[in-house]
Amino acid sequence: MGIPQGPGSRVNTTSNAKAATTAKNNLSWRPLRSLRLTLLLFLCARAAAAQQTHIIVVTSVAGDEEHAAKFRKWASTFIEAAKKKESVPDANITLLADKQAARENVSKTFADVAARAKPNDTVFVLLIGHGSFDGRAAAFNLPGPDLTVEEWTKLLNKFPSQRVVFVNTASSSGAFLPTIAGPGRVIVTATKTGGERNDTDFPEFFVQAFDDAAADRDRNGHVSVLEAFDYAKSKVVQAFQQKGLLLTEHATLDEGGPDTRLAATSFLGTGRSDAALAVDMNDPAVAALVQERDAIEQQIAALRLKKASMDQAAYDADMEKLLTSLALKTKALRDRQTKKDER
């Protein structure tokens, strides 16, 4: 004889059936959700790997052979670091020096780069040489007519969807800042104002930073614009102190707004060691490791921004933990790629 089931029992039975169905659906959904997340990480990693850096180096009128030799050396040091340290291809690097640095060639180069640069690429512009300021307008001294600050700004406006790094290492370069700074741009000048008219030491140390492991403070194998800026600024101060001279140049960095990390995440290349490791980004496991490593690098960059407001011991402990995690993640990436290469 069956046990009678009242209305309450039917409700409980129905409720239990619904709960079982929901649980079953949840269990079946989890692998799908995990698969979608893995695919998303893979696509993000592929997109980041596809990003490129386009470099434009312009040297000014030298005035004499001594300055010409220095400008050539600094430009060469910078370009070699981009090619050897960050694997930027020759096709993505343009050097305009001597007569080639005339304004029409500069304008054409910017137009050419704008035509081939993709959204989210980085456009890195470095000016090396002499600058001037007449109390109203600043200039970077080109052979023939100079480009005004407004004209330089128009050239940079050709890159609305790219990250722009504009580094003017010339004297009086600080006068460029008010006009040329903007969202999505990292602007570096060797001087704070147009009134600092002496030849600058900043360019020598700025380009040197990209080939000096000491500038790589977070030990991630890449020197960011922020690291190069801090390195060069410190070296300039030391150089003036050693000579017993009053500091006549004060380098300045602008990131286009408060609370940004543009300078800390901008590099000569992509800032990603997967290119140097030649990893297979078609392997989802490798792509996931790259994504995890990049996340750690972002945490390191964010922590550095908090350094001034943190207790030194706490900062050092947190940084050491992150650097250890970064080293372990990079080792795991190398080990997996090595095994793949040996197959």
pLDDT tens per residue across span 122-135: 999 999 999 999 99
* End-to-end CA, the chain: 68
Does residue 272 surpass a pLDDT of 70?
Answer: no
> Which pLDDT score is estimated for 112?
98
> Which pLDDT score is estimated for 278?
54
Does residue 59 surpass a pLDDT of 80?
Answer: yes
> Which pLDDT score is estimated for 67?
96
> Which pLDDT score is estimated for 246?
95
What is the mean pLDDT of the segment spanning 24-37? 43
> Which pLDDT score is estimated for 32?
43
> Which pLDDT score is estimated for 99?
93
State the DSSP code for 128.
E
Q: pTM for this one?
A: 0.69
> Which pLDDT score is estimated for 235?
97
Residue 73 C-beta-side C-alpha neighbours within 13 Å: 10
Q: What is the 3-state secondary structure (H, E, C) of 45-87?
A: HHHHHHCCEEEEEEECCCCCHHHHHHHHHHHHHHHHHHHHCCC
Does residue 207 surpass a pLDDT of 50?
Answer: yes
> Which pLDDT score is estimated for 279?
61
Does residue 30 surpass a pLDDT of 90?
Answer: no
pLDDT band at 23 (very low <50, low <70, confident <90, very high): very low
- The H or E element containing residue 316 is helix 312-342
Torsion angles phi and psi, residue 143, rounded to 5: -65, 125
What is the mean pLDDT of the segment spanning 240-258? 93
What is the mean pLDDT of the segment spanning 55-81? 97
Q: How are beta strands 138-140 and 147-148 bridged, if at all?
A: antiparallel
Does residue 212 surpass a pLDDT of 80?
Answer: yes
Does residue 168 surpass a pLDDT of 50?
Answer: yes
Does residue 26 surpass a pLDDT of 70?
Answer: no
What are the residues whose beta carbons fall under 8 Å from the beta carbon of 101, sequence distance 6 or more?
Answer: 58, 59, 60, 61, 142, 143
Under 8 Å between Cβ of 56 and 96: yes
Cα separation of 199 and 99, whole Å?
Answer: 21
Q: pLDDT tens digits, residue range 131-165?
A: 999 998 899 999 999 998 999 999 999 999 999 99
Greater confidence (21 vs 326) lies with 326
> Which pLDDT score is estimated for 12?
45
| Least confident span in 92-106, 260-274, 287-301 | 260-274
Residue percentage of the chain with pLDDT more than 70 = 80
Greater confidence (216 vs 1) lies with 216
